[in-house]
């Protein structure tokens, strides 16, 4: 992804660097049930993959991995619960960059940041579609830009939550192209899409998996896909091909409270990476949700940490361009 990062967080020193002596963890892990906090509602790309991983890990490791949905406050409730837990491997969290990294970065008084977490493994990138309802003028991004230029503020964009593709699209087109799109806030991506299909809003962003089905059924038009072209809709251009000058995707990963011993990090990383590489598991629980698992998904924890640092640098540029400020 070339977006989800944060200049506001500054240099991140991951909690994975510090680890307890290996002798303290010589016993087999896990020795009891593991809680997996998911700061997202049941169903969809924030919940289905973690449930699949939890089921498979329980079978492989002989202990229950229990999903606990702790949604609310843009994921802050679940993230804080994970942060405050013991760093013993029995509380993990599976979430997105938006929750673990971006949301606290854009709050004036954040209650947590990345230094409070151990990065375990990148588990996929959520491809997203820029969708338009069928009555929106124009069938391509270029045509939509022309319509917005001809009548400023006439084309509405459904936004939701904190930072997302729709909200960044509104900000970027204003800053880079001096185009006026009118944002309308909704509580969730699903609500914004329902509004678009009902004709209440023109443009929305949505996960590529379910979004592609809407396009194929003729309910919506696809303007662009992020971050790259997809076999789901091979004729749909990427954001940059469509004339939008930034890349956007939401990556997902597994984390634990700061200080998780390295041997447990390596064990979990290896087990989850094997599942990501399994074609049947991937198709059922990951690809079905519109996620792709190219690099760095399934790579080492160290590579995951390096990836996040790079993402921060990229996001810094976007923060500067859009003038994003902590709220």
pLDDT digits (tens, 9 = 90+) for 59-101: 999 999 999 999 888 788 999 999 999 999 999 999 998 888 7
Q: What is the pLDDT of residue 20?
A: 42
* Burial tier of 183 (Cβ tally within 10 Å: 0-12, 13-18, 19+): middle
Alpha carbon distance 225, 13 (integer Å): 33
Q: What is the pLDDT of residue 286?
A: 93
Per DSSP, 188 falls in state S
- Which pLDDT band, with edges at 50, 70 and 90, does 274 fall under? very high
10 Å Cβ neighbour count for 15? 21
- Condensed to tens digits (0 to 9), the pLDDT of residues 108-165 reads 788 888 889 999 999 999 888 999 999 999 999 999 999 999 999 899 999 986 677 8
List Cα–Cα distances, 327 to 7, 74, 104, 110, 324, in angstroms.
Answer: 15, 13, 10, 10, 9
* Token representation of residue 251: 């990556």
Q: What is the pLDDT of residue 193?
A: 92
Q: What is the pTM of this model?
A: 0.77
Q: What is the pLDDT of residue 14?
A: 45
Q: What is the pLDDT of residue 65?
A: 98
Domains of the chain, start order = 15-126+249-322 (3.40.190.150), 128-226 (3.40.190.10)
Q: HSE-up of 115 (CA within 13 Å, CB side)?
A: 9
- Report yes or no: 209 and 138 within 8 Å, Cβ to Cβ: no
């Amino acid at each position: 992804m070339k977006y989800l990062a944060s200049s506001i967080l500054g240099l991140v020193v991951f909690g994975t660097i510090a680890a307890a002596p290996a002798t303290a963890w010589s016993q087999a892990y896990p020795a009891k049930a593991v809680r997996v906090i998911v700061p997202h509602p049941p169903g969809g790309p924030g919940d289905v993959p973690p449930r699949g991983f939890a089921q498979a890990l329980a079978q492989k490791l002989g202990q229950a991995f229990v999903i606990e949905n702790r949604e609310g406050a843009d994921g802050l409730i679940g993230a804080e619960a994970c942060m405050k837990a013991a760093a013993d491997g029995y509380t993990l969290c599976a979430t997105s960059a938006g929750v673990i990294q971006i949301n606290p970065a854009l709050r004036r008084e954040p209650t947590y940041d990345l230094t409070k977490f151990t990065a375990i493994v990148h588990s996929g990138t959520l491809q997203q579609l820029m969708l338009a309802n069928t009555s929106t003028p124009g069938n391509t991004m270029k045509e939509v830009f022309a319509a917005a230029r001809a009548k400023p503020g006439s084309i509405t964009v459904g936004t939701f939550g904190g930072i997302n593709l729709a909200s960044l699209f509104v900000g970027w087109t204003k800053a880079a192209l001096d185009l006026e799109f009118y944002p309308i806030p909704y509580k969730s991506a699903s609500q914004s899409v329902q509004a678009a299909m009902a004709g209440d809003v023109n443009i929305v962003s949505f996960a590529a998996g379910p979004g592609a089905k809407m396009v194929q059924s003729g309910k919506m038009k696809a303007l662009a896909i992020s971050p790259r072209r997809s076999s789901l809709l091979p004729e749909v251009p990427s954001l940059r091909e469509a004339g939008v000058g930034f890349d956007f995707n939401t990556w997902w990963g597994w984390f634990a409270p700061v200080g998780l011993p390295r041997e447990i990090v390596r064990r979990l990383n290896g087990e989850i990476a094997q599942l990501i590489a399994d074609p049947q598991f991937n198709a059922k629980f990951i690809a079905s949700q519109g996620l792709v698992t190219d690099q760095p998904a399934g790579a080492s924890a160290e590579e995951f940490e390096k990836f996040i640092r790079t993402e921060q640098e990229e996001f810094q540029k976007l923060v500067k361009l859009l003038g994003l400020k902590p709220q």
